[in-house]
Amino acid sequence: MTPPVPTAARPLPKARDVLAPPLCDAQGRVMTYLRLSVTDRCNFRCAYCSPAHWGGTKDLLTPDELERFTRVFARMGLRRVRLTGGEPLLRPDIVDIARRVSRVPGVAHVAMTTNASRLALLASPLRDAGVSQLNVSLDTLDESTFRRISPRGELSDVLRGIDAAATAGFASQKLNVVVMKGVNDAEAPAIIRYAHQRGYTPRFIELMPFGRGEGVPTRTLIESIRQAGIALEPDDAPKEDTSGPARYLRAPTGRVGFVSPMTENFCGGCNRLRVSAKGELRSCLGGRSQVPLAQLVRGGASDEELAWAIRRALGEKQEGHRFNDPQATGALLSMMGIGG
Ligand code: SAM
Ligand code: SF4
């Protein structure tokens, strides 16, 4: 596949600068955050995430390739890497991958998003390998609701993993909750209490149109949490530079985050790039364009050639996602391959 052409408004840099920061997109936004999907396989198949039929990619990126991509992106100015999937902990070499990525010069933070099913075993090794920020997905504390959302998972494994990670010494721990109307929306107050008791910051995410289910607008959810007796006040603490698109409010027991891709478009501050499990660069979660970085590497491309391809793709990055446009969402790339 030929990489897309840059816009006239944003010409490519001179050859000698192609690996030098900043890495900007067509809108002038500077990219600093890389999300690497290390697998598109998953042991949970959550209703909102996975397609009904899913084979999985055969040629996943190797640890060498993941390290090489990280090195090239870090030379171009990306400072933060998140390992995601599918379920990243299904990879037997995940600790080695985390260690190699965290040692790349220029990488300041390595984060991971996981369903926690194997975290009881891996929390401490991952921490020792350099993962400092952990996001765990937990949509419900109720066994039967869990079965409805993630039919192949075991809630007890997830809860054990969450407890193990709580004592492993991560610098930041968050609980991601995808909110679905009539499924888990009423559990928000209980999940806030559960998370704060264990030192996690809960973050409620509006459902995006990748799978099944009906979402709840953040505004409605905040109102229902307040009606349940939990005061949510504006949060005066300075926003961490790693907090991404989440907006935070303060409950009596701690902070509560809200991520609102459907009702509060945050694309103006987008600083992120994604590499899918197949090794394709995706400049937007809600977009369709992709550049086959793995194919380029396997064909012998140099770091400079990769950097050109990356800059060309960024030259096409749109102003924002189009989740609210039914014609665009029909062709969205799968969430399991992109990694959220
Ligand atoms: N398997 C890992 C996990 O579940 O945390 C990592 C991959 S998962 C694709 C990354 C994040 O995307 C999770 O927090 C998940 O809840 C979120 N996610 C998946 N599908 C979503 C959807 N349709 N809308 C909003 N968030 C979604
Ligand atoms: Fe798997 Fe995570 Fe998607 Fe659930 S959200 S199906 S655990 S990749």
In this predicted structure, what is the pLDDT of residue 118? 98
**Distance (Å, rounded) from C-alpha 251 to C-alpha 109?**
27
Would the CB of 210 count as within 6 Å of ligand 1? Answer: yes
pLDDT at residue 290 tops 80? no
What is the full DSSP assignment across 29-72?
Answer: PBP-EEEEE--S--SS--TTT--SS----SSPPPHHHHHHHHHH
Of 112 and 24, more confident: 112
Q: Give the nearest ligand 2 atom to 113 CA.
A: 2
**Distance (Å, rounded) from C-alpha 159 to C-alpha 196?**
14
Q: Which two tokens stand for residue 61?
A: 């990126």
Would the CB of 84 count as within 6 Å of ligand 1? Answer: yes
Would the CB of 290 count as within 6 Å of ligand 1? Answer: no
Q: Give the nearest ligand 1 atom to 139 CA.
A: 16
Token pair 């995410």: residue: 205
- Find the 136 Cα to ligand 1 centroid distance in Å: 10
pLDDT at residue 19 tops 50? yes
Q: Give the nearest ligand 2 atom to 42 CA.
A: 1
Other C-beta atoms lying within 10 Å of the C-beta of residue 206: 19
How long is the chain? 340
Q: Which two tokens stand for residue 108?
A: 């300041």
Would the CB of 39 count as within 6 Å of ligand 1? Answer: no
Hey, what domains does the chain have and what are their CATH numbers? 15-335 (3.20.20.70)
What is the percent of the chain where pLDDT is above 90? 70
What would the pLDDT profile of 295-305 be if each residue is shown by its tens digit?
A: 999 999 999 99
Which residue is closest in CA terms to ligand 2's atom 8?
A: 86
| Alpha helices (H) in 129-217, listed in sequence order | 143-149, 155-166, 188-197
Counting ligands in written order, the one closest to the CA of 112 is: 1
Which pLDDT band holds residue 320 (cuts at 50, 70, 90)? low
pLDDT at residue 274 tops 60? yes
Counting ligands in written order, the one closest to the CA of 56 is: 2
Q: Which two tokens stand for residue 274?
A: 């994604």
Mean pLDDT on 260-266: 84
Mean pLDDT on 195-201: 98
Let me know: does 110 contact 102? Beta carbons within 8 Å.
yes
Counting ligands in written order, the one closest to the CA of 208 is: 1
Mean pLDDT on 321-327: 57
- Find the 271 Cα to ligand 1 centroid distance in Å: 19
What long-range pairs does 234-237 form, CB within 8 A, spacing at least 24?
none
- Find the 277 Cα to ligand 2 centroid distance in Å: 14
Which residue is closest in CA terms to ligand 1's atom 17?
A: 340
pLDDT at residue 106 tops 60? yes
Q: Which two tokens stand for residue 211?
A: 């799978």
Range in 94-108, 176-190, 221-235, 253-267 the model is least confident about: 253-267
**Tell me, what amino acid is at 278?**
K
Q: Are strands 280-282 and 291-292 parallel, antiparallel or unpaired?
A: antiparallel
In this predicted structure, what is the pLDDT of residue 318? 62
pTM of the entire predicted model: 0.90
Q: Give the nearest ligand 1 atom to 87 CA.
A: 1
What would the pLDDT profile of 210-247 be if each residue is shown by its tens digit?
A: 888 899 999 999 999 999 999 999 988 766 655 568 99
Q: Which two tokens stand for residue 15?
A: 């050859």
- Find the 280 Cα to ligand 1 centroid distance in Å: 19
Q: Give the nearest ligand 2 atom to 87 CA.
A: 8
Range in 58-62, 75-79, 84-88, 243-247 the model is least confident about: 243-247
Among 273, 317, 270, 290, CA closest to 34:
273
- Average pLDDT for the chain: 88
Mean pLDDT on 124-151: 97
Mean pLDDT on 56-77: 94
In this predicted structure, what is the pLDDT of residue 5? 46
- Find the 113 Cα to ligand 2 centroid distance in Å: 10
In this predicted structure, what is the pLDDT of residue 77? 96
Highest mean pLDDT among 3-17, 146-160, 276-290: 146-160
What would the pLDDT profile of 151-176 be if each residue is shown by its tens digit?
A: 999 999 999 999 999 999 999 999 99
Which pLDDT band holds residue 179 (cuts at 50, 70, 90)? very high
In this predicted structure, what is the pLDDT of residue 88? 97
Q: Which two tokens stand for residue 259?
A: 């991520």
Coil vs helix vs strand at 210 = coil
In this predicted structure, what is the pLDDT of residue 26? 83
Range in 12-21, 96-105, 212-221, 328-337 the model is least confident about: 328-337
Which residue is closest in CA terms to ligand 1's atom 1?
A: 87
Residues with CB under 6 Å of ligand 2 are 42, 44-46, 49-50, 85-87, 115, 137, 150, 336
